[in-house]
Amino acid sequence: MKAGVILFKGGQVATEDSPQLKKLDVLVEDGKIAQVAADLPIPEGAEVVDCVGCVLAPAMFDMHVHAREPGREDQETIATCSEAAINGGVTGLVLMPNTLPTIDSGGLLQSVLDIAAEKSRIPIWQAGCITKGREGKELAGIAGMKGKGAPLLTDGGDSIADAMVLLRAMEYAKRFDLMLALHCETKELSGKGAMNEGQVSYRLGIPGIPACSEEICISRDIRLAQYTGARLHIQHLSSAEGVATIRRFKEAGVRVTCEVAPHHLLFTEEQIGDYDTRYKTNPPLRTAADNEALLQALAEGWIDVIASSHAPHTEFEKNSDFGSAPFGITGLDTAVVSLYHHFVKTGVFGWDVLVKRYSAEPRRLCQVEPVPIEVGGAAEFLVFDPNRKTWFSKKFMQSKSSNTPFLDQELDGQIISVMKDGEFLLNR
């Protein structure tokens, strides 16, 4: 639904600069924010949205999403993925290239953008592969993908085992000022592991993935970035030592950033106790101590970005035994509400952290302008009601797959509206 003049009345505005919410009205005219002030008068003919008790926050931006199209439309499509994003207050996505076929050329990248232009109500950026076919052997068509607007290069859920190939990729990407986003894993150490290696994996009899599998690869990859001067982004951090390593290199001036997924803040290996495959992800859920280190690093700014690592799978696939089931958790529908319920509401961190790490910083990393709620800016924000509750039923969620630990759970808070350029993408 579009409207010319809309006044969001009586709400509190969240910013990335302060944990304090400010009671302000927001006037939108022709898709732009015309005024932000307390107790604004109601313009003649304006639509008034009652926001008393609600929070207005800049819409989120997710830079790590698997939409599965082309090739696995039974798991997700660009259309359903974008609707799940809107449902979760997200108005921009960066899609991973591990599709069928893999997105390793400018032509293939353009084909996804063409689908997105037709099927998605929000802007979508498509990442390109680092190596052809994600095989880790030969560089993909980097120049062509840069020309089609790829914001970053990644081989998705595969690390690049050959250090020389990665070094050459960094040298080449640096010429194009393209960021490399890496999944860090030492395959020889991970083996056939299915969860974090430790007491819980031993008790359950499940092969484990040691944290050092991730940590050793993080150290190697950052050292190569230090040598080449490339921009490096470490995806879905999961361990305390991984955070400590990144902090050391950041302090040394290396151009490295990193992200954390909500599930690595919210859950631990203990949740797998009854072989629940909804908690199977890679990197795996680790210990409470790891989660605490990640939370602290997020609050202190050593972790730059929150990203859902949205990884849909069919119910049939996830209903396999734990060892055979695929890795992955969906997160677009649930990220904002779950982070509010567990951390913002309880005072672990404020709305400023959520806005900075899940809205502003990911946009900046992908060279997209942030969308603060300020005069002259685009009207691109969500309205969040902390007094409502969200029941994450299959009917409520818009993702085609429901492999989330939050399925059939109720959490505090609900996104009641999402606006972009003067249009209500969501209005409950």
- Kindly report, residue by residue over 76-117, the tens digit of the pLDDT: 999 999 999 999 999 999 999 999 999 999 999 999 999 999
Q: Which two tokens stand for residue 376?
A: 């002259």
Mean pLDDT of the chain: 97
Using a pLDDT cut of 90, give the percent of the chain over it.
98
Residue 356 has pLDDT above 60, yes or no: yes
How far lies 359's CA from each of 92, 194, 353, 379, in Å?
9, 32, 10, 14
Mean of the pLDDT values across residues 127-143?
A: 97
Please give the pLDDT value at position 241: 98
- Kindly report, residue by residue over 375-401, the tens digit of the pLDDT: 999 999 999 999 999 999 999 999 999
Cα(142)–Cα(153) distance, integer angstroms:
8
Please give the pLDDT value at position 3: 57
Domains (range + CATH), the chain: 5-56+375-427 (2.30.40.10), 57-365 (3.20.20.140)
Please give the pLDDT value at position 346: 97
Strands 179-182 and 232-234: parallel
Please give the pLDDT value at position 273: 87
Q: How would you classify residue 10: left for phi > 0, otherwise alpha for psi between -120 and 50, otherwise beta?
A: left
Cα(338)–Cα(82) distance, integer angstroms:
19
- Kindly report, residue by residue over 223-280, the tens digit of the pLDDT: 999 999 999 999 999 999 999 999 999 999 999 999 999 999 999 999 998 899 999 9
Residue 4 has pLDDT above 90, yes or no: no
Please give the pLDDT value at position 1: 43
Mean of the pLDDT values across residues 283-289?
A: 98
Mean of the pLDDT values across residues 48-63?
A: 98
pTM, to two decimals: 0.97
